[in-house]
Structure 1
Amino acid sequence: MAAVGFLVESKGAAQREARSSAGWKRQLMKLAAGQIRLAATDLGNHLACRHLTTLDLAVAEGKRVAPDWAAPDLAVIRERGERHEREYLAHLCAQGLTVDNLSHIRHQEEKRLLQETLGLMERGTDVIAQGALGDGEWFGRPDVLRRVAAPSKRWAWSYEVADTKLARETKATTILQLSLYSELLGKIQGTTPEFLWVIPPGEGFAGEKYRVSEYAAYYRYVKARLIEAVGSGKHGGAALGGADRGAAARKAVPADAGQYSLGFANEIATVEATYPEPVEHCLICKWFRECDAQRRADDHLSLVADMRRQQRDQFEAWNAGTVAKLAALPIPLEQKPRHGSKEAYVRMREQARV
């Protein structure tokens, strides 16, 4: 089994953003019939930045308007990603497989997309490109659904999900996205797919396969935290995912969640009011200008070059929670920091004075 790197890095994030921003590929949470409908993109966004979930929710509820801005290099990455997908589909056609492509249907036409996809699955089409999967609460458009010989409860065949990715290293967000697709697919065909596939560039398009069950606990954990962060999905009625989402989220947290989430454990461990903390995703996020303006207005400690989150927490505990207060912090330090050396904190204090 191929190794999965559970790290967010700017290039991989840019590739995800470019693909989710492309016209018919854009799938974000929205308010439908009084209920918040979530999408695969929302899982990756929540993992990258909890504050992004807060902002997207406000847009879905009509409380805010999303900025009309995109990182300059996204168009190039988007074109490369779409070319990679076209080449993969051409490769499948050359193998004699029947490929039905639904990319001409806009993502806003969800009902039509779901019906067309189901019809192709019922006919046993070899490959379905840009189909749609949904259950009313979640929606997604996997790059490819491939028929496999294993029977499902519904048909004498079944399908597995494959996504074309430019990144050479598979990211946690990719596994989360494909895990959601696999869950939705399992509801349709009555049988959970055994594998999910990532198709990176390369001769022969040798895919990387991952066993769905091996990542199920991690997927349920992040999914439950997102549902809890979104809050009541049905205004004036039942909440998304059930009446007690908090209990559901706590129940979904596996005992070994830490080994899956690694660096993200602290980011998704609690549900609370969010702040635009600077993260890797900021480099390509449409909300960057607004969040950056808020940090500057707040004189936030993240404006001090090279300061770590742990150091910011310590300065806040010392009542030096702004750049101005930090610059005025008496030297020598009166207290020993909980982590690291006094010298490192003195350097941060001097940096704040620049």
Structure 2
Amino acid sequence: MGCKYACFQDWSVSMGKQKRPALSAEEAVITEAGLKHEKKYLQSLKDRGVGVFEVPQQGTAEERAELTKAAMRKGKEVVYQAALYSHPWIGFADFLIKCDEPSDLGDYSYYPLDTKLKKTATADHLIQLSLYAYLIAQVQGKMPSEARIITGDGAEKAVYTNIAHYYFLEAKNRLENFIAGHYFPSQPDPCKHCSDCAWKDGCDQIWESQDHLCRIANIRKTQIKKLKDNDINTVTELVELDDNYNIKKLSSRIFQKIKKQATLQKHKEKTGKSVTELLPLEGGRGFNRLPVPDSGDLFFDMEGDPLYSDGLEYLFGVYYRSDGEDFKAFWGHNHEEEKAAFERVMLFFGEHLQKFPNAHIYHYNHYEVTALKRLSSRYGVCEDEVDDFLRRGTLVDLYKVVREGI
């Protein structure tokens, strides 16, 4: 499903051939939040008087799997930290929940339930739960008809196992063949999973040592392939090409753009000094996106906590020119305060723009616009004001200006 190189690294860890990289600070925070979410659900079961068998964390995976099987055969209501094993597969489900569907165990069976910080189920979640369902079936003689997820906002969502089962089997067979055939990649290739991959730092070191073309900012995989098809394999080789060099299936304009970016990066690498060059002006792009400056222009930034239950926009910051204070901060430490802060900042915008009707609100990238639309929809307030900002072009994205202009 994902990156073959990362898959190989994970397999090497499972075989004891290497250690997994230490968690980054961000990963550690997410892991802690995930464990807290899981423990909160566990406590809610106990508070309701549900009988929970907790599988000990000591012992081998096989020993823990035997304890899990024994608990299932005894008909425990809930099995926590269940170890599920069927060679060569092993999985650790957060919870197994007893239900009334008959199975080889008796007049009952189990389905898996996992706690997740995300608010919606993802494809990865479906595959993970499908693996658990497959392993549960090896014990109770039938597939669970469903699995469940407790999402980050506390909602319990059902996932029907037949939806992803056959895709899971295909993915399972692919992985087994990959391991059995030793089709291990000799080096990593950049992919969409890189940004949140545990192996990213190691891959970056490899690409840096190889002077890999992927290190050129904003280059696409298809463009890298076209360059390599023309025997251009490093950034240095690209930079040393004549400006009029012909690359098959790559337009001269795109080639010049990639080569110029590579040249600027190489200059920084050699001298330690950054160099910027302005791109040719185009209608409605780059610096042509900028409106006429106004003394009342506002510069707006937001900060959010994605790990807070259902997300939280905790800071709305606005910088502006004035005789007094130049920065306003609107804080929200919970959802009630978030709503109030949103309404206050929107009121400030409205009153300020009445005084400065030609002013604009500048932000960087789409986060602020997306968050304002989400908050107005969630709380049912300021919807007309947000819509008015969007229609009138009051909000100006400086990221687009920079990306298209430099």
Give the TM-score normalised by the residue count of structure 1: 0.69
Other-structure match for 2:254: 344
289, 298, 301: which one pairs with 2:213?
301
What is aligned with 2:67?
A: 116
Cα distance in 2 for partners of 1:173, 1:308 equals 25
Aligned partner of 1:105 among 51, 57, 70: 57
CA contact (8 A) 1:71 1:284 kept: no
* Aligned ranges 1:169-318 → 2 under 5 Å: 169-202=120-153, 205-231=154-180, 273-279=185-191, 281-318=193-230
Over residues 118-166 of structure 1, what are the superposed CA-to-partner deviations in whole Å (9 max), with x where a residue is unaligned? 1211121111110111112111110010011111133110100010000
CA deviation after TM superposition for structure 1 residue 176, in Å: 1.1
Task: Name the TM-score, length of structure 2 as normaliser.
Answer: 0.60
1:178-202 deviations in Å (ceiling 9; x for gaps): 1111001011000110111111023
Once the two structures are superposed, residues 286-323 of structure 1 have per-residue CA deviations (whole angstroms, 9 ceiling, x without a partner) of: 43333222111111001101111111001111221210
Q: What is the CA–CA distance in structure 2 between the aligned matches of 1:279 and 1:129, rounded to whole Å?
A: 35
Helix, strand or coil at the partner of 1:331: coil
Percent of aligned pairs sharing the same letter:
28
Query: Aligned partners of 1:292, 1:346: CA distance in 2, in Å?
Result: 25
What is the CA distance between 1:115 and its match in structure 2?
1.9
Gaps in structure 1 of 5+ consecutive residues: 1-46, 234-270
Residue 82 of structure 2 aligns to a residue whose secondary structure is: coil
> Alpha-carbon deviation of 1:60?
4.9
**Going by fraction, where is strand more abundant, 1 or 2?**
2
> How many Å separate the matches in 2 of 1:48 and 1:225?
12
Deviation of residue 171 (structure 1)? 2.1
How far did residue 61 of structure 1 move? 5.1
SS at match of 1:114: helix
Q: State the SS of the aligned residue for 2:53.
A: strand
Q: Secondary structure at the match of 1:353?
A: helix
Corresponding residue to 2:10 among 49, 56, 81? 56
Amino acid of the structure 2 residue aligned with 1:149 = D
Matched, 1:77 2:30: yes
| Larger Rg, first or second structure (1 or 2) | 2
In 2, the alpha carbon distance for the partners of 1:342 and 1:124 equals 69
Larger RCO (alpha carbons 8 Å, 6+ apart): 1
Q: Which residue of 1 aligns with 2:94?
A: 143
Q: Is the alpha carbon distance of 1:274 and 1:216 closer, same or farther for their aligned partners in structure 2, counting shifts above 3 Å?
A: farther
- Counterpart residue type for residue 70 of structure 1: L
Q: Distance between the aligned counterparts of 2:60 and 2:130, measured in 1?
A: 23
Seen in structure 2, the aligned counterparts of structure 1 residues 59 and 140 have a Cα distance that, compared at 3 Å, is closer
Please tell me the root mean square deviation across aligned C-alpha atoms, in Å: 2.2
Any idea what SS the aligned residue of 1:133 has? strand
